[in-house]
Amino acid sequence: MGLTARTTEHPTASSRQNHSKHRRAQHVCLALAAVALLACMGCADGTSSGASQTQTSAAHNEWTWVGGAQTVNQPESYGTKGTASAANIPGARTGGVSWTDASGNFWLFGGTSEYHLPSPEYLNDLWEYSNGQWVWMSGSIGYNQEGVYGTLGVAAAGNTPGARQYALAWTDKAGNFWLFGGIGFDAQGTLGEMNDLWRYSPGAGQWTWVGGASSANTYSGLSWPVCRERSVGWTDTAGNFWLYGGASEANLISDLWTFSPVTGQWTEKGQGVGLPYPPANQTPIYGTQGVASGSSFPGAREWSNNWTDTSGTLWLFGGIGYDSTGASGSLNDLWKYSAGQWTWVSGSNLANQNGVYGTQGVAASANTPAPRAEAATWTDASGNLWLFGGAQPGTDLNDLWKYGGGEWTWVGGSQLSGQPGIYGAQGTPSSSNIPGARFGSATWTDGNGYLWLFGGGANLTAFNDLWKYQP
C-alpha cells in the first residue's frame, strides 16, 4: 500500500520513538507495505551470463518475465541446500539485499515476507541464481532467526547474520560480499536496528563477523556508524564502501561514512563531522542548483534511491526526509557526490511535488520523476542511471526512467499509481510487458547489459517474480 509520509513538521523525539515501536511491531517500517510475489517455478530465461541462459532475445526497451509467480505472497521452495533445481524459488519478499559475483551469478539475502501479517517475518536465507536456476546456499528455512556471530574476525561454517531487512550491501574487489546493519534479530533474538558488519566469501561459502555490535540498538563509539536501517550505500572506483543517512532510534539521520575493506576502518565525512552524533533530523542545504559546494548536503532522509556511475560519482535521488523549509515528506531531488562535495543536480527542494513526465521516450530538461522511496535502480554500461517504480504515500509506482546527459527520460510504465503487471508469455520479451507497481525489489545487472529485478512489495502483498529488461 505504499508508504506513509512523515508529518510536515519535525516530529518530537517521543513521537518518533512511539512510531518506531509501532513500525517494528507491524514489520512494515513506517507503513511501507509488504511484498506481492510471483512463484511460478520456471526461472530459466536470461542472458548468456553466469546468471541465466537466453531462450528468446529481447529487443531494446522490452521486459521479459523470467520466472516466479503471477500471484502474490508465495512461499519459498528451498529444495536441498547447495543443490540447484528448476523447482527452487525464493519466497515473496521486500527489503532484501543483492550482490553479483565474479562469475556473473546473482545473490539474494534476507528481507521480509508478509504471509502472516501483522506479525513480521524476517528472513536470513541466502540464495544464488545461476544458469537459470536458484540454489538455497545458507541461512534458515524459518523466520525471525537470531544471528550466529561466532568469533570476531573468524570465518566459520556455522556463522550467519540474523534475519533482517533494509541492510546495506557491497562487493569488494576480491569478490567478497559485505552486509551492514538494517533492522532485524541480534545474537540474543532481540529485534532492533543493527550496526554489525559481515563479510561472505562465495568461494568458501562462509560468513565472517567483521565488526559492530552483536546486540541491537547498541552504540559502538564515534569511530563506527550507529545502528540504522533504510540507508543508502555505494562502492567507489577505489573499492571503498560508502553509506549515507537512514533511520536510527526513531530519528532520520544525515551522516556520511566511508569504509576501507583493506584497512577495516570507517571514516566519517561531510556535514555530520563535529556535530552531536548522530546528526538527527537535519534540514538539507541545497545551495545553487548545478554547483558543487562543501556546505551543501541532502539532509536527513531514509529509503532514498542510489547509483554509482561509470566514473565513480555517487548519486542519490529522493526518499523520505526533510526539504529546504524543514518540512518532511516524499522527495524527488537528485544529488551527486564527487571530490568531497555534494551537488544538487535537479528536482525540487520542496517535498511532495508532482513529477513531470513529458513525452514518453524523449529526454527533456524539464522532466523529473515524481517523489518516491525504495525504487529499483541500475547503472547501464553507458553510465545511464535507471529508476523503476517505488513507493509514494499510500500507493506504489511502476514507471521506468533513464537519466543521462543531464536529462531524465520517461521510458515506460504508467503515469498512474497502483498499476498491475503485464506478464505476457514466460520467457518471451514484449514491448507491452511491464512489472506491476512495487517497492523494495532486489536488482542486478548482468554482463550482457540486461537489468534484472526480483520481488518487492505493494499493497500489503509481496512478489517473487523475476524480470529482466533490455535497455
The per-residue pLDDT for range 188-247, each reduced to its tens digit, is 999 999 999 999 999 999 999 999 999 999 998 889 999 999 999 999 999 999 999 999
Tell me, what amino acid is at 137? M
Q: Indicate the pTM of the whole model.
A: 0.89
Task: Show the beta-strand stretches assigned E in 101-215.
Answer: 106-113, 121-130, 133-138, 164-165, 168-171, 177-185, 191-201, 206-211
Q: Which of 412, 420, 360, 367 is nearest to 396 (CA)?
A: 420
The contacts of residue 14 (CB under 8 Å, 6+ apart) are: none
Distance from chain centroid for Cα 121 = 18
Residue 164 has pLDDT above 90, yes or no: yes
The residues near 22 (Cβ < 8 Å, ≥ 6 apart) are none
Q: What is the pLDDT of residue 193?
A: 98
Q: pLDDT, tens digit, for every residue of 320-367? A: 999 999 999 999 999 999 999 999 999 999 999 999 999 999 999 999
List pLDDT tens digits, range 383-419.
999 999 999 999 999 999 999 999 999 999 999 999 9
Q: How far apart are CA 138 and CA 176, in angstroms?
A: 16
* Whole-number Å distance between alpha carbons of 61 and 433: 10
- At 270 the pLDDT is 75
